[in-house]
Chain A
Amino acid sequence: MKPINDTRPPRWAQRLLHWYCKPELAEDLEGDLNEYFERNVVAKGPRRARWIYIADVFKFFRLYTIRKPEFVNLLLHWIMIGSYVKTSGRSLMRHKLFSFINIAGLAVSMSVGLLVIALVTELLSFDDFHAKKDRIYRVITHDQRLGEPAMDLATTSLVAGKKVDTSLSGIEDFTLVRNGFSGDARIGESVIPVSAVWADEHFFNIFSFPLLQGNPATALKEPYSLVLSEKMCKTLFGDVNVLGKSVVFDTTNYVVTGVVKDVPKNSHLRFDALVSFSSAKEHREEGGSFNTWTNIYSICAYVLLPKDSDPAAFQANLDKLSAAENARIEHRTISLQLQPLENIVLGKKLSNQIGPVMRPVALYFFEGLAFIIILSAGFNYTNLSIARSMRRTREVGIRKVMGALKHQVGWQFIVESTIIALMALAIALVLFLFLRVQFLSLDRFLSDLVSLDLTSRMVLYFVLMALVVGFGSGLLPAVFFSKINAIQVLKGSSALKVFRHVNLRKALIVVQYCFSLIFITTTLIGYNQYKSFLTFDLGFNTAHILNIRLQHNKEELIKKELAEVPEVGAISVSRIVTSLGSLQGAGMKYKDLNDSIVVWLNYVDEQYLPLHGHTFLAGKNLKALPDGAEESEAVVNEQLLKRFNISPQDPAKALGEIILIDEKKLAIVGVVKDFHYGTVENSIEPMALRYSAHEPWGYLNVKVTTNDWPATRARIEAAWQKVDKVHPLDAKFYDDQIEEAYRMFATMIKVIGTVAFLAVCIASLGLFGMVVFTAETRLKEISIRKVLGASEGRLIYLLSKGFLFLLLLAAAVALPFTYLLFDRVVLVNFVYHPPLGYVELVISLVSVTVIALLMIGSQTLKVARANPSEVLKNE
């Protein structure tokens, strides 16, 4: 403790006294305490004196000393609000340009805010229609194989599901759900493809999907029961009274046992039809490969915990179960976890999701963008209000002379900014309706996830946001105005004081321009990178190749029909379409049987490699095999040779070597140049091509040369129709598929691009306002300079150099930041990307500078050209 402090009473106790004590009593009370304190310092020493002082402050906390809430002041506020609204309205009308800048900026930025609020509200409302939502948990799986990265799955194994149900205590109910039932429903003559979800009879106990017909307790009990949604009923039967009617899938007869109300959009479980869980043979069987602890890829298990039970206790049960089962397997740990229902849609990253999900990170990203935009518009308000303050100081001065208190003046300006924010909200709402359409059409994923319909709760949040924005942007001006000294202002010496806040305003402008520059550069760099992904040399040819999903049809039949279409050239078969992100892997070994890796695979026919223009470094293509013949050949890439050191320098020597894929011996017959099996995010890894002419779930790769695509497509469609009348043709050009694979980036670039545009608009509006203001206030100075002989050019330089300096300052911060952001954070995720250039940085700086110069130039020119005699004669 410092000695100086010892002879003074403790500060905080003094503050406390002033806080609770009535102002009229506080002074002499404090004086008395001080007097005693001084005596005590002498008599009892400083330390004790301080203690006594503190004790006394608390002792004086009595009924008669406590400050009473000032009801009169509160009442005054309400009376004065009318007056505040009136003066705000007048000031709005008087300064039309500033009002326009503020309202327009806030409206644009708030419409983005509304969009984000709508998105967040809707995402948070997911699954909240279930009556027992607080007690529903999903059992998810954490899978850790020895020496491999861990995997988190939304699904679990059937074994785990059954064990949880039968051997664990502490649950009220339990249901198993499995996605992926699909078949062609035959009703009389018509055939309609239907996809459905398997669910057991407890499904309706846990989830609140109301049944319009049928008994929820038994509807899904018997095998081959079918519960249809209203919509599906109408497609299948054209009617909803369908109880007991039968639907045939393949050869099996299903009976409709219930009709469920259409699933709302904010449900993570989405289905048009439910099939009883016991319908699938593998669900009923004991044993079998489906019924193992390690088959964790298909079943979604949901538990309903009893009221007031502790999920942690149940988790302990799950841990015990996992430990017991893991003891029976090697090199792998599978653990079960509980995931609350509310965390499913906005939760951690899980594979095998059953419904739509959104990563919280993406949401934070949107929230962050909206926040920055709103902040920028708020800065405009703050900036312009303080800059204009000279014109309002008189008004404030007179208010103060008439008896307005500090906080009353403050409130006046907060009310004013709130009014502006509410006006902006009205415009923002209209913009939002427009923006919503644009946003949802950005990506199919988004329109699938949410509809962003207005609800009353959303409107409440909107108004709340407007109030917060109004309060936030009005706060600084309010503090500034409430501090104004009435005497000084009315004497007319206000100018000096006003410009004290110049640095704050400059800082706000710099921040705005930083954001603008960062967004523009990000958009440009992102766009360039995205373009390069699309035109990336994958190592094979994708042009004019049409990939047709076979949908379980016979290749020969389709091929035969397609061959009749004149535009169709060669046709090949493949199991997957590579370079789009779909993968198929298998274990592979070479001579050393302990050295096993995952090799990426594709199963293709003999036409595939020539059709796609793969370059052979050695050897030849796979040989066509007759039906039923044993495969014995593989074509591999350079990486595979390198990995197992099978003469990587001279691929020709690798020919004839035997490799083991999935324990099958295959001879290397050809080596192709490395190509991109995955997306450009992944590096090229060992891969092999195996022969298969029959891939019912695979693709036909068709070389099409056409000048009239719609007509050709119609012909191909007709050919398809001859073979398959049920399923519509699913054909896409390879190049379009690649574009689709990178669609997420396109979406992001569009979002950031839009934000960049808005940020620049708002910042420019703000700058414009500032320039207009500066030019007006310096009109006389400029005129005098002109009279004394300054040239127009010099005047423009004089007026704009300050702003240009700010812009350069912003660039000095923003450009290196963006560069490093991409260099160190974003692009490290992409193994193959073109180098980062400086061109984008320069372009964004130049474009922002040009816009800013236009803003500054137009106004400064006006002032510089003004006739000095006109200006000066009015003095």
Chain B
Amino acid sequence: MKGTNLGEFEELVLLTIATLVNDAYSVAICDELEKHAGRAAKLGVVHAVLNRLEDKGFVKSTLGEATSTRGGKRKRYYTVTNGGKAALIKAKEVRDELWNRIPDLILKKA
């Protein structure tokens, strides 16, 4: 079992969901990732990650209202769960901790 580990891309997606607040659905997440992370996110990949995150209990999803766009199909909105938040915070803490332990000299000019 992968347990509660957060992969790099998973973390990115989770963060994007958090930034989008109430508008986090697959296509928007893709767009956001492309805009801010500067990498081409394929819909299929994002979908798979969202599915995995939901399995791990980091996000939960609800179906929105039907609109006339998208051929009348509803969107699936994702929100970060408490577990998700905890995982994000933990990931950040680990990084901060590691950052703090790097001697100032080494990365200063980078």
Contacts and interface: CB of A to CB of B under 8 A. Distances in A.
A31 B70 contact: yes
B76 interface: yes
Main secondary structure on A side of the interface with B:
helix
A28 B73 contact: yes
Contacts of A62: 44, 48
A717 interface: no
A134 interface: no
B75 A28 contact: yes
Given A32-B26, A32-B27, A60-B44, A27 B71 contact: no
Interface in A769-814: none
B106 to A, nearest CB: 42
Contacts of A59: 44
Interface string B67-101: 00111011110000000000000000000000000
A38 interface: yes
Nearest to B70: A31
A352 to B, nearest CB: 72
Contacts of A56: 43-44
A35 interface: yes
Main secondary structure on B side of the interface with A:
helix
B25 interface: yes
B37 interface: no
A59 B43 CA distance: 10
A838 interface: no
A36 B43 contact: yes
A283 B88 CA distance: 102
Given A34-B70, A35-B27, A28 B43 contact: no
Contacts of A32: 25-27, 43, 47, 70
A27 B26 CA distance: 13
A12 B52 CA distance: 29
B51 A64 contact: yes
Contacts of B26: 28, 32
A30 B73 contact: yes
Nearest to B54: A64
Contacts of A31: 70-71, 73-75
Nearest to A8: B71
Interface string B31-55: 0000000000001100110010000
Contacts of B27: 32, 35-36
Contacts of A34: 69-71, 73
B21 interface: no
A705 to B, nearest CB: 97
A29 interface: yes
B20 interface: no
Contacts of A38: 69-70
Nearest to A63: B48
B12 interface: no
A9 B26 CA distance: 19
Interface in A574-607: none
A28 B75 CA distance: 5
Contacts of A33: 43
B76 A64 contact: no
B48 to A, nearest CB: 7
A35 to B, nearest CB: 5
A670 B70 CA distance: 101
Given A27-B74, A64-B51, A35 B69 contact: yes
B56 to A, nearest CB: 13
Given A56-B43, A62-B48, A28 B69 contact: no
A29 B74 contact: no
B48 A28 contact: no
20 contacts: A27-B73, A28-B74, A28-B76, A30-B73, A31-B70, A31-B73, A31-B74, A31-B75, A32-B25, A32-B27, A32-B70, A34-B69, A34-B71, A35-B27, A35-B70, A36-B27, A38-B69, A62-B44, A62-B48, A64-B51
Interface of B: 25-27, 43-44, 47-48, 51, 63, 69-71, 73-76
Given A56-B43, A64-B48, 19 more contacts: A9-B71, A27-B63, A27-B73, A28-B25, A28-B63, A28-B74, A31-B73, A31-B75, A32-B25, A32-B27, A32-B43, A32-B47, A34-B71, A35-B69, A36-B43, A56-B44, A59-B44, A60-B44, A62-B44
